[in-house]
Structure 1
Amino acid sequence: TPHPGEFRRLAPDLLDLLARDRAGAALELSQRSGCIVVLKGHATVTALPLGVCFYNTSGNQGLSKAGSGDVLTGLMTSLLAQGYIPEVAAPAAVFLHGLAADLALADLKNARAVTPEIILSYLVPAFRQVGW
């Protein structure tokens, strides 16, 4: 789950591609490594080694805080532990993580108030909103 700065360290040879095509860079790293790559940032991209990209539509600037990625990773891990396949768990976790942040921002009206702890507290409402 790299953000662009971490991605640059993972794949320095893909910097030009990253600058012009985030999804293309994530997909290239995913296919090269055989791993699912979640390139965090505005419109987070989830790239699967089989050549598919998901573009996330949820989330806000409150997710840019330290620790937010740890919440995302924990959410992905929990979905995997429940038996969801990685190709479902990764994009679902990204969406639910962003939705929890969106619900928090709607209530709190201030992105600075959207902390990792707050995001955790909004995961249950996010799951309920999507019918899980």
Structure 2
Amino acid sequence: MRKRVTMIFPRHVVNLPITYRLARDFDVAANIVRAQVAPDEVGTLVVELSGDIDQVEASLEWTRSQGIEVSESSSEIRVDRDRCVDCGLCTGVCPTEALVLNPEIFALEYLRNKCIMCEQCIPTCPVDALSAAL
């Protein structure tokens, strides 16, 4: 089973070796999609967990017991065509080229099958045309 989650770390648990503990204690592989973690600050980790369904659920339960907020990640990026001005700024931060400008019509295209839901594009959009959809 694979599950993508976002973890929000309070300051007092930022130094906890989460991915190591998930692998060692639960036999769950953690592929880090995006991380923003610094000592003595609130941290955010977007991670895709892989393993036996019961072990993944047990690992998430343990993670929550450590005071870490866990939420399931969105399934896709939504482009609000009424707001989008096709500027292409989001394409520059997309690591998988899931957002591209069609050169023939100079319009933004979202290639869902390439998206890893890192959500780096959302804060980049100057007109707030991008959001995470469930």
Structure with greater helix percent = 1
More strand by share: 2
TM-score, with length taken from structure 2:
0.27
Higher relative contact order (CA 8 A, sep 6+): 2
Scaled by the length of structure 1, what TM-score is found?
A: 0.27
